[in-house]
Amino acid sequence: MAEQGKLKHAPPGVEARKYLVDGLMLTWCMGPNTRAWREREPDLLGLLLAFAAIYFVWGSTFLAIRFAVETLPPLLMMGTRHLVAGLLLFTWQRARGRWRPEPRLWFAALFSGAFCFLGCHGLIAWAEVRVSSGLTALLSATLPVWMVLLARIRGQQSELTPKVLSGIALGFVGVAVLMPLGFMGRGWEEVSAIAILVAEIFWAVGAIHARGIKTTTPPSTFAAMQMLCGGALLWAVGLGFGEASRLHAEAFTMRSVLSLAFLILFGSLLTFTAYTWLLQTSSPALVSTHSYVNPLVAVFLGWALASERVTFGTLAGAGIILASVWLLSLRTRRVAGRADEATEACGAVARRGV
């Protein structure tokens, strides 16, 4: 989800724009020099590389998680990912003299870390011990459905048009098509599939809460705060569930360790940098098209590299869910057409760098 709008109360001489980056509210402050840079024609090669990152790297993170949890405890693995990524981002910010977080933002970072990283990423890592990465990506693509429903409950969704209702209905149909595939009669796999849907609800809760945050703190600073809080919570819960007893270095495979490194460097740091840069140089609606590409990349990589089964039902469920995302995105584009200061586009997994 990417939503753009101007803050009403910005410091003198500074243009502050807020971005809802797939549910996490970020604010980019631009002085005269920054505006001049933003208005320059972006480099074509840079645009292609940045879009490749959010299309293919984010799409590959589902398979990387599956490989990582083969020999690494899921909660501690995901906690390590976010703690290391947050510390690297923190170090980079300190070196540039930009680490000046507002103290009040730590509560918001803790809240979003609890729901988006512990609740969402933790459940997804736990579920991928038992379910395929492709189906995880497709079920995760239902995020816009939960965003619309929960926003409506909180009074933030003003209209449920026939297109929006159709998009919600299609999302549930897609889930109904996908849920039986490979799950029926296998116990914990059914629970894991449901856990993925619950994970998306957790992300939606954290995202909707983040919509009310107004700050001039740089996006990378707030992102580091969320990663640190989320990583600490994941480690605390992982230790509470006894995952420390599964930490045996001799049992770790090179594939799991390299997958964790990939998630840290590429899934979290590289793609976040590319995504925030694209929000500055391209339209949020165009950037949000990763929502359609990521699940397809995940399904293809799972089939090609992990021998995951792809059936007609898998493809049908994928098509139905992507049609749901498309219908829900039409609502946001229509809103953007009416008010340029409220450009919003529906996205499923920027994740947010799963």
Task: Specify the pLDDT at position 150.
Answer: 85
Whether the Cβ atoms of residue 340 and residue 1 lie closer than 8 Å to each other: no
At 341, the pLDDT band (50, 70, 90 cuts) reads very low
Please state whether the predicted TM-score (pTM) of the whole model is above 0.85.
no
Task: Specify the pLDDT at position 118.
Answer: 96
Q: Which residue has the tokens 């498309």?
A: 326
Residue, of 165 and 54, whose pLDDT is higher = 54
Name, of 51-60, 118-127, 206-215, 286-295, the range with top average pLDDT. Answer: 118-127
Exposed (0-12), middle (13-18) or buried (19+): which is 250, by Cβ within 10 Å?
Answer: exposed
Single out the residue of 304, 301, 347 nearest to residue 136, CA to CA. Answer: 301
List the chain domain ranges: 44-340
Single out the residue of 137, 267, 263, 259 nearest to residue 193, CA to CA. Answer: 137
Query: Rounded to an integer, what distance in angstroms lies between the CA atom of residue 204 and that of residue 207?
Result: 5
Write the CB contacts of 95 (distance below 8 Å, at least 6 apart in sequence): none
Residue, of 346 and 337, whose pLDDT is higher = 337
Single out the residue of 278, 280, 214, 281 nearest to residue 7, CA to CA. Answer: 214
The residue-averaged pLDDT of 270-283 equals: 81
Q: What would the DSSP string read from start to end of 71-112?
A: TS-HHHHHHHHHHHHHHHHHHHHHHTT-----TTHHHHHHHH
Write the CB contacts of 53 (distance below 8 Å, at least 6 apart in sequence): 266, 270, 271, 274, 275
The residue-averaged pLDDT of 315-334 equals: 78
Beta strands in the chain (DSSP E): 2-6, 15-21, 24-30, 343-345
Name, of 81-90, 212-221, 334-343, the range with top average pLDDT. Answer: 81-90
Task: Specify the pLDDT at position 276.
Answer: 77
Q: For 249, which DSSP code?
A: G
CA dihedral (257, 258, 259, 262) positive or negative: positive
**222-276: per-residue pLDDT in tens?**
888 889 999 999 999 999 999 999 998 899 999 999 999 999 999 999 988 888 7
How far from the centroid of its chain's Cα atoms is residue 139's Cα?
13
At 281, the pLDDT band (50, 70, 90 cuts) reads confident
| Residue 298: pLDDT over 80 | yes
CA dihedral (143, 149, 153, 154) positive or negative: positive
Residue, of 47 and 289, whose pLDDT is higher = 47
Residues linked to residue 30 through DSSP beta bridges, in sequence order: 15
Tokens describing residue 199:
């994970």
Q: For 245, which DSSP code?
A: G
**69-113: per-residue pLDDT in tens?**
999 999 999 999 999 999 999 888 888 877 777 888 899 889 989
Task: Specify the pLDDT at position 233.
Answer: 97
| Residue 201: pLDDT over 90 | yes
